[in-house]
């Protein structure tokens, strides 16, 4: 069996079409986009073409798309700017956000003395919307930061409902949409979120590039990175033209093929769920990841009925068998700490059992699912 890659929530394989676009740009469009000669103008034209295409996918204006190095930078830009430039004194979030949000909020609390509130969650990791609404009852300038799809357990947050609550209470709304952009067709005229963050490598695009959506007329924002006037003055530094072109190509392909690819990957997820339940009685699913309506079609997070003496080196043993999956966010892979997401929602007993995240893409097959299940049975 060739190696099986079930860690698509960490990063995805580039599509061949994206590689072709990037290679062509690297070869033919090497000019600095800030240069006034024809080489520079050619690169600048490509960037603006990509900006318009990406904006069209989200039904927003091109001026509302700011290219960044990825989702983490986009989250940092948005949260810092909201506090520093827009006068936000209160941030509402949850304890299961990505660390790009949580660690930024912690730093802002320390440096700017802002108030931070955490929305209550149920045992599946779902938001208590009544509690959120009560937290919004304040005269303090507030920003709500809630991810659209949780990167570890796959729960989908109704961000349209959240945006309506925020508008009704004069609060700003930011959503880390890294796990949803490219997988769901978001209409940001229908969903009145003020800010989102996205990353190309989560939907078969290149690493090192993403974008922030910042709704127009939100107020004057200053950059995090100072230097030139690139990206409307919000993000200094020479743009990575080939990465931006690859980002555009990947997002357009995802939108064009959304229905068929969603159906295929959702079928893989359902097949995995049924097969692992049959093979490992006692397996449970963390968060809403088993629920096809309440979780993303791209991942599941399973709590395995495997004895402690067999689970200590489980990831390592799976790797030796050619299987790539994860315990949670790849950003925590160098840490010995348990998942902060699972720590919030699991009981002490379940937290001691091995939990694994398997995440899928168009490049995966049912034969790969069968192989993974057969290996997991050896540990039961």
Which residues have a catalytic role annotated? 331
Q: What is the C-alpha separation between 83 and 192, in angstroms, rounded?
A: 20
Helix (H) or strand (E) holding 93, with range, is: strand 90-93
Q: What is the C-alpha separation between 63 and 252, in angstroms, rounded?
A: 18
239: Cβ contacts below 8 Å, ≥ 6 apart: 33, 43, 47, 67, 230, 231
Q: Name 176's bridge partners.
A: 197
Q: What is the C-alpha separation between 221 and 242, in angstroms, rounded?
A: 27
Nearest CA to 74 among 283, 301, 231? 231
9: Cβ contacts below 8 Å, ≥ 6 apart: 151, 152, 179, 202, 298, 299, 326, 357, 359
- How do the residues of the chain divide into helix, strand and coil, expressed in percent and rounded to 5? 45, 15, 40
Measured CA angle at 42 (ends 37, 43), to 5 deg: 105
Measured CA angle at 275 (ends 271, 276), to 5 deg: 120
Q: What is the C-alpha separation between 118 and 129, in angstroms, rounded?
A: 12
Measured CA angle at 21 (ends 255, 54), to 5 deg: 35
Give the torsion through C-alpha atoms of 214, 216, 222, 223, to 10 deg.
40
Nearest CA to 174 among 155, 199, 193? 193
Q: What is the C-alpha separation between 178 and 46, in angstroms, rounded?
A: 24
């Amino acid at each position: 069996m060739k190696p099986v890659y079930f860690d698509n929530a960490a990063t995805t394989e580039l599509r061949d079409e994206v590689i072709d676009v990037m290679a062509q740009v690297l070869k033919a469009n090497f000019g600095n986009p800030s240069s006034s000669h024809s080489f520079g103008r050619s690169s600048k034209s490509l960037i603006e073409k990509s900006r318009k295409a990406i904006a069209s996918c989200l039904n927003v204006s091109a001026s509302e798309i700011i290219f960044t190095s990825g989702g983490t930078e986009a989250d940092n830009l948005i949260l810092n700017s909201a506090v520093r430039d827009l006068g936000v004194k209160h941030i509402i979030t949850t304890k299961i956000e990505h660390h790009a949000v949580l660690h930024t909020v912690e730093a802002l609390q320390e440096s700017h003395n802002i108030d931070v509130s955490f929305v209550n969650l149920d045992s599946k990791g779902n938001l208590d919307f009544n509690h959120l609404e009560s937290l919004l009852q304040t005269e303090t300038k507030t920003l709500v930061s809630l991810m659209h799809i949780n990167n570890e357990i796959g729960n989908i947050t109704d961000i349209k409902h959240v945006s309506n609550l925020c508008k009704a209470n004069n609060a700003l709304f930011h959503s880390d949409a890294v796990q949803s952009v490219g997988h769901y067709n978001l209409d940001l005229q229908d969903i009145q979120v003020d800010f989102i963050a996205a990353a190309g490598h989560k939907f078969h695009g290149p690493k090192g590039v993403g974008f922030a959506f910042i709704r127009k007329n939100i107020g004057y924002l200053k950059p995090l990175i100072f230097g030139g006037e690139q990206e409307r003055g919000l993000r200094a530094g020479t743009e990575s033209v080939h990465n931006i072109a690859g980002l555009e190509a990947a997002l357009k392909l995802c939108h064009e093929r959304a229905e068929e690819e969603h159906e295929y990957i959702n079928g893989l997820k359902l097949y995995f769920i049924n097969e692992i339940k049959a093979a490992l009685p006692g397996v449970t699913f963390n968060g809403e990841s088993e629920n096809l309506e309440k979780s993303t079609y791209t991942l599941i997070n399973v709590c395995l009925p495997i004895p402690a003496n067999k689970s200590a080196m489980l990831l390592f043993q799976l790797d030796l068998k050619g299987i790539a999956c994860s315990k949670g966010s790849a950003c925590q892979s160098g840490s010995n700490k348990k998942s902060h997401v699972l720590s919030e929602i699991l009981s002490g007993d379940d937290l001691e059992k091995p939990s694994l995240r398997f995440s899928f893409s168009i490049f995966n097959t049912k034969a790969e699912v069968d192989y993974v299940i057969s290996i997991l049975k050896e540990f039961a």
